[in-house]
Structure 1
Amino acid sequence: MPFTHDTESALQAAAALVNTTRDPADDALATLADLDEFVRDNEYSGTRAHDRAELVAVQSLRSPVGHLWDLSTEELVDTVNAMLVDTAALPQLVRHDGWDWHLHATPSDAPLATRMKVEIAMALVDLVRAGETDRLKRCAADDCSGVLVDLSRNRSRRFCSTTCSNRVAAAAYRSRCSQRA
């Protein structure tokens, strides 16, 4: 099922946020420069504080957002509702930066972490309403803790990145070759 651009973007950004901690030895969201790149890559709009408190607030979203991938639909609904209440979300239609009409549920001057939390919650609302929560998946690579949003038509995506996919395929190939020898 195709989702609106803002839903897909928010879901992909949520997975990207969680995956910044995929490699425990290399936090991909450790500095303000990392946050600037993350915000730019995921097209977040609105005001920014550009300070350590903003970075810490965004970093603190990673664990609770990652936990969303492990919830049943009923638990997800309860959590999403709590996120929306906690942020006093008030949905409204907006158009900006080359994006056509889409929903924002916080003012553009709300803190970045609040805007991110609400966008994630609103995207999850669409997933729940469409009966598509099974599109939230954990990476199939045994040595990876990454998450993904499977937006493929046939729901066949298994890996959080090309790196994991290639690593698993190479290991399977090596295993087949060693069995022949």
Structure 2
Amino acid sequence: MLLVNELAISRARGRDVVPPATGQDRREAIQQALATAGLPQSRSLTDSDADRLAVVALRLRPVFDPEERIESRAEGLNQLLVRHAAVPNLHGHPDGQPVLAFHRADADLVDAWTSDAGTALAMVIGVGQAARLRSCEAGGCESVFFDTTRNASRRFCGLSCQNRAKASAYRARRAAETA
């Protein structure tokens, strides 16, 4: 989701956003988004990697579109998983416990990130939870998210979009009452 929201949308929280267009800008945007999310930054992320990840983000974007048929969402993910050689295996550091990953131990950063993200999304779809992969329903926002609510009823990427949508609906009702 982080990659899609940083590199593949043009509207967020009611405002136009311009996705970064160069490798350096993309790399900086990814690093900033990782830091904001409380995730470790990648020291090995290059400008070239960031450019390749922008292509991946564009291919992942339809997975979050509820209007897209589930079969085409699955097919797009399958193609991505094959292209980036996703394969489950255990690997890790020599002095630590092995971890389950969905990329080869020798995979480059883009293949590793894409394989792991693509597999996670495929697992969500495969267990019948595709409806939890959502796009914000607020006007002027294309952000994507994973709905973690108990009844899968979340409609907005965040509180600011929810507030904007509710205020807009209130103004529309008031205008209809006075008309």
> Taking structure 1 as the reference length, what is the TM-score of the superposition?
0.72
Q: Matched residue pairs, number? A: 163
Q: Would you say the 8 A contact 1:48–1:112 is kept in 2?
A: no
- The structural deviation recorded for 1:102 is 5.6
Q: Would you say the 8 A contact 1:48–1:111 is kept in 2?
A: no
Provide the rounded CA distance (Å) in 2 between the counterparts of 1:42 and 1:133: 26
Unaligned runs of 5+ in 1: 1-13
* Aligned counterpart for 1:148 among listed residues 142, 145, 148: 145
- The structural deviation recorded for 1:44 is 6.5
Letter in 2 for 1:54: D
Instruction: Please say which structure displays the higher CA radius of gyration.
Output: 2
* Aligned counterpart for 2:31 among listed residues 6, 14, 36: 36
Q: Would you say the 8 A contact 2:3–2:30 is kept in 1?
A: no
Cα shift readout 1:24-74 (whole Å, capped 9, x = no counterpart): 4343683432222234437368x7533211221112222111022233222
Which residue does the alignment assign to 2:108? 111
Provide the rounded CA distance (Å) in 1 between the counterparts of 2:71 and 2:156: 25
Q: Structure 2 vs 1, CA of residues 117 and 153 (structure 1 numbering), >3 Å: closer, same or farther? A: same
Which residue does the alignment assign to 2:73? 76
Q: Would you say the 8 A contact 2:26–2:50 is kept in 1?
A: yes
Q: Would you say the 8 A contact 1:92–1:103 is kept in 2?
A: yes
Provide the rounded CA distance (Å) in 2 between the counterparts of 1:118 and 1:88: 7
Unaligned runs of 5+ in 2: none
Letter in 2 for 1:58: L
Matched, 1:52 2:47: yes
Provide the rounded CA distance (Å) in 1 between the counterparts of 2:98 and 2:133: 25
Q: Structure 2 vs 1, CA of residues 168 and 95 (structure 1 numbering), >3 Å: closer, same or farther? A: farther
**Seq. identity, %:** 26
Give the 3-state SS of the residue equivalent to 1:103 in structure 2.
strand
TM-align CA RMSD? 3.0
